[in-house]
Amino acid sequence: DVKVTQSSRYLVKRTGEKVFLECVQDMDHENMFWYRQDPGLGLRLIYFSYDVKMKEKGDIPEGYSVSREKKERFSLILESASTNQTSMYLCASSSLKLNEKLFFGSGTQLSVL
Amino acid sequence: QKEVEQDPGPLSVPEGAIVSLNCTYSNSAFQYFMWYRQYSRKGPELLMYTYSSGNKEDGRFTAQVDKSSKYISLFIRDSQPSDSATYLCAMSVTALIFGKGTTLSVSS
C-alpha cells in the first residue's frame, strides 16, 4: 500500500523558532509537494520538487524553504516561525508519469504561539 | 474570476440520498479532472480521476465532466454516514489546481 508519512501530527512552536517538517514516501515517486490548508482558503502550494536537490516555488513560498537530499524525503523549513504560519501542512507525492495523481500524508497541524 | 470555484457548503443529507457536488472552472486548457475526499484530520485521498470529457463510474460514485460548460460533478448514490467528509475537486494541465472543498454530512 502506498504511503506518505509526515513525522508529526501536531506541533506547537514559539514565534521565531526554526521549524522542520519532515515527509517520507515509500513509492519511489519523483515529485513531492508541500501544501498548507486553511479554512476558507483551501489548499495552497508552498514548494514542490521534481528531483533530488531540485526545488520550485509554489504559490506562497515566502517564509519557507525546502530540502530534498534524498528521493524519498522532502523537508519543509520555517526559518523563523510566525503566528500566521499556524496551519495544517500537507505533504504529497506523485510519479513523473502520473503527476496529477497525488498521494497525501495525514498532515501536520502546526500551532505557532 | 477564480480558476476553480466550488461551493463550500456545508451540505447535509439523510442516509440513502443522492448527492451532487459541483465545480466550475475558467481555464479551458484543463484536461485532467479529479475528486479527492478528505476525512477530518486526515490528508486528502484520490477518489475519482477522469481525462477530458465524459462520465466515469466507480461503485456508488460517478464523476462527470462537461468541458463545453466548464463544469464537473461528482454524484454519490445511496449515500452513507461514512461518506461524511470534505470533497475537493482538482484539475490540471500541468500543475494541479484545487477547489476549496465542499463539506458533506450524511446523517443516519
Give the separation between CA A59 and CA A17, rounded to whole angstroms. 23
Put simply, whether B65 touches A (Cβ < 8 Å) is: no
Q: Which residues in A lie closer than 8 A to residue B99 (C-beta atoms)?
A: 42
> Mean pLDDT score of chain A, rounded to an integer?
93
Give the separation between CA B33 and CA B50, rounded to whole angstroms. 5
Q: Which residue among B43, B49, B96 sits closest to A90, beta carbon to beta carbon?
A: B43
Query: For A57-77, what is the mean pLDDT?
Result: 96
Query: For B36-51, what is the mean pLDDT?
Result: 93
Q: How far is B34 from chain A (nearest CA, A)?
A: 8
Q: Which residue among B46, B94, B98 sits closest to A101, beta carbon to beta carbon?
A: B46
Contacts of A59 (CB under 8 A, 6+ apart): A44, A45, A46
> A29 by DSSP, 3-state: which?
coil
Name the grid cell of B45. 485521498
Lowest mean pLDDT among A34-38, A80-84, B10-14, B52-56: B52-56
Whether residue A100 is predicted with pLDDT greater than 80 in this model: the reply is: no
**How many CB atoms within 10 Å of residue B60?**
14
Q: Are A107 and B43 an interchain contact pair (Cβ–Cβ within 8 Å)?
A: yes
Q: Of B43-57, B73-87, B90-104, which has the strongest mean pLDDT? A: B73-87
Whether residue B54 is predicted with pLDDT greater than 90 in this model: the reply is: no
Query: For A43-60, what is the mean pLDDT?
Result: 93
Query: For B67-77, what is the mean pLDDT?
Result: 95
Query: For B24-40, what is the mean pLDDT?
Result: 93
- Burial of A3 from C-beta contacts in 10 A (0-12 / 13-18 / 19+): exposed
Put simply, whether B63 touches A (Cβ < 8 Å) is: no
Per-residue pLDDT at B52: 80
Q: Which residue among B42, B88, B96 sits closest to A100, beta carbon to beta carbon?
A: B96
Query: For A52-66, what is the mean pLDDT?
Result: 94
Give the separation between CA A4 and CA A83, rounded to whole angstroms. 27
Name the grid cell of B34. 479529479
Per-residue pLDDT at A98: 65
Percent of chain A with pLDDT over 90: 85
Whether residue B1 is predicted with pLDDT greater than 70 in this model: the reply is: no
The residue type of A48 is F
Per-residue pLDDT at A99: 63
Confirm if A84 and A62 have CB atoms less than 8 A apart.
Answer: no
Per-residue pLDDT at A97: 67
> Mean pLDDT score of chain B, rounded to an integer?
93
Query: For B2-9, what is the mean pLDDT?
Result: 86
Q: How far is B69 from chain A (nearest CA, A)?
A: 22
Closest CA to A37 of B74, B86, B50, B10: B86
Per-residue pLDDT at A1: 67
Whether residue A51 is predicted with pLDDT greater than 80 in this model: the reply is: yes
Per-residue pLDDT at B89: 96
